Every structure is written in structure tokens, then in C-alpha cells.
Amino acid sequence: MKIRVINGPNINMLGIREVNIYGSENYDTLIASIKDKCLKEGIEVECFQSNHEGRLIDYIQSCYFEKVDGIVINPAGYTHTSVAILDALKAIKIPTVEVHISDVDSREEFRKVSYVSLYALKTIKGEGIKGYLHAIDILKEHYENIQK
């Protein structure tokens, strides 16, 4: 199984920005925990982060040509604004799980809108960086079910 983990703007600032909301674990810890889990599970993983919407869309599209089996995405601030990211995911038709480190439903009203959730198999909110590991489990189970 081959998955990609895609992170949007400011996720690289984990452990620095709004620690009271996003926790004290930094981006390197997030990536290490993802890679460790995937190594143990026999999953090929690549992680990508950008603060630029177009680069995120280019990367999403590349997943199609690389024959990726699943995507974990935290669109971050683009969650609430980017129809283009939604359209890119719909175009490539790869199973996707959306992740948010914080519980976006308990925050500002505008954060309750997620365009990506219109496509995602599931949206995980408020589990901290462990939400990414949960998302990988969901993709793995989905992959195994469609292989049967």
C-alpha cells in the first residue's frame, strides 16, 4: 500500500504556533510518528507540506500518476476556502481521510465549513497528531476491504 500525507499552511509551525490549540509536539515529531507507524505496517509513505495552494494541488495531482492508494490530508486554513483542493481530490479519485489536529467544531464559526469533507471518506478532528495515525488505520482498512 502506498499513501501520501499532505499538510497545508502553517502545519510546519507545530509546537510554535498556538500551543494551547495545537499542542507542543513539533512538525518533526508528527512526521517521525507517521513514518514509524507506516514502517511497522508495511506501508510506503511520503509526507508533503506547503503553505501554497497551487503546490498542494500539484502534489495531489501527482498522486494520481504515482498510483497512490490513499491520501491523508490536513488542508489547514485551506479547509474552509479551497474549492480547488476539493476539485483536485475529486479529479484523482483516490480514497482520502481529512485530519484536523484541533477540534475545529468547537472553534470559530467559519472553521466548521470544510470543502474537503465533501469528498473525504472520513474527517478526524481533535485527536492531536494521533489523528494522523487514526487516518492511516482507516485508509489501510479501506484498502484491505477493496482488495478482497
Name the phi and psi angles at 63, rounded to 5: -60, -35
Residue with cell 478482497: 148
22 noted as active-site residue? yes
Write down the catalytic residue from 22, 115, 119, 132. Answer: 22
Asked if 51 and 80 touch (Cβ cutoff 8 Å), the reply is no
Q: Which of 27, 100, 119, 132 is catalytic?
A: 100
From CA 129, how far away is CA 50, in angstroms rounded? 18
Cross-strand pairs, 4: 46, 71
Residue that has been written with the C-alpha cell 483542493 in this structure: 85
Neighbours of 78 (CB within 10 A): 24
Catalytic residues: 22, 100
